Amino acid sequence: MSVFDLTVTDALLSTTRAVRKRLDLEKPVPRQIITDCLELALQAPTGSNRQGWRWVVVTDAAKRAALAELYRKGVGTYLDDAYHEASASGATQDSRVFDSARYLAENLQHVPVHVIPCIDAGHIPADAPPRAWGGLMGSIYPAMWSFQLALRARGLGSVLTTLHLKFADDASSLLGIPQNIVQAGLMPVAYTIGTSFKLAKRRPLDEIVHWDAW
Ligand SMILES: Cc1cc2nc3c(=O)[nH]c(=O)nc-3n(C[C@H](O)[C@H](O)[C@H](O)COP(=O)(O)O)c2cc1C
């Protein structure tokens, strides 16, 4: 016997996609939905249960436009370069992903809500080993994913983006984010156009799982 309805939970876990072109740029998002989804996100784990997360929710149009500019600066030639690299190596799915990523870069300012998940890094010395930084980011990413799942369950969508982070300091100045607070990404949030999303094609499990030894 399952504890939850697996038809529902498995569909949620397997169809929460990176949504870009199907973000509804016209439909307003009620503040309550964002706070409900953030409340759920706070049930995620953090290292030592430190809960250093902070969330900056941006609805102001001028600030979204400024963030979109930083995002585009961050994109630079990255998408074109990555696309050419993927085509040269024979990767298949990629033209659609890059198309979709370009669309987001062009339209980010129109997405009604930008959520910037952050984490307090005040306790980590600048020369800390990578393990410490892994633990720091590992204390915000699970919550980011929970937030995305909660959105999906309510008919909204998002995509985890990181390309503005090259200019994270500018975003911090724009939003008054203190120096000890590290941004983990930028999640554009909107209702989705339609709610049916497909299972993604991933690498076969057999290729990547090792039982008892590598
Ligand atoms: C660490 C990380 C960084 C990402 N950065 C970006 C980004 O800057 N812009 C973007 O459009 N998508 C970004 N993505 C989204 C990925 O492209 C997306 O998750 C991937 O293509 C799989 O999409 P799917 O789950 O819909 O199959 C990022 C995802 C992760 C996990």
| Banded pLDDT at 21 (limits 50, 70, 90) | very high
Which of 71, 73, 162 best tests ligand 1's pocket when mutated (most atoms within 8 Å of CB)?
162
Which of 116, 160, 189, 192 best tests ligand 1's pocket when mutated (most atoms within 8 Å of CB)?
160
Please give the number of the atom of ligand 1 that sits closest to the Cα of 17. 26
Is residue 86 pLDDT above 90, yes or no?
no
Q: What is the pLDDT of residues 191-202, one digit of tens each?
A: 999 999 999 999
Q: How far apart are CA 3 and CA 109, in angstroms?
A: 41
Q: Indicate the range of 119-123, 130-134, 209-213 predicted with least confidence.
A: 130-134
Q: What is the pLDDT of residues 143-188, one digit of tens each?
A: 999 999 999 999 999 999 999 999 999 999 999 999 999 999 999 9
| Ligand 1 proximity of 128 Cβ (cutoff 6 Å) | no
| Ligand 1 proximity of 12 Cβ (cutoff 6 Å) | no
> Two tokens at 66?
């400024």
What is the reported pLDDT for 92? Answer: 58
HSE-up (13 A, CA, CB side) for residue 10:
5
H helix runs in 16-164, sequence order? 31-41, 61-75, 78-88, 94-107, 130-137, 141-153
Length of the chain, in residues: 214
Distance of CA 202 from the midpoint of ligand 1 (Å): 14
What is the reported pLDDT for 181? Answer: 97
What is the reported pLDDT for 26? Answer: 98
What is the reported pLDDT for 93? Answer: 60
> Two tokens at 51?
């809960």
Q: Are 119 and 182 in contact (CB under 8 A)?
A: yes
Closest CA to 39 of 116, 111, 146: 146
Whose C-alpha lies nearest to ligand 1, atom 16?
Answer: 18
Q: What is the pLDDT of residues 27-37, one digit of tens each?
A: 999 999 999 99
CB count within 10 Å of CB 91 equals 13
Which of 161, 166, 189 best tests ligand 1's pocket when mutated (most atoms within 8 Å of CB)?
161
**How far, CA to CA in Å, does 154 sit from each of 6, 33, 139, 172?**
18, 8, 24, 30
Distance separating the N- and C-terminal Cα atoms of the chain: 33
Whose C-alpha lies nearest to ligand 1, atom 29?
Answer: 160
Distance of CA 47 from the midpoint of ligand 1 (Å): 24
What would the mean pLDDT of 105-120 be, rounded to a whole number? 98
What pTM value is reported for the model?
Answer: 0.95
HSE-up (13 A, CA, CB side) for residue 40:
16
| Banded pLDDT at 41 (limits 50, 70, 90) | very high
Domains of the chain, earliest start first? 6-203 (3.40.109.10)
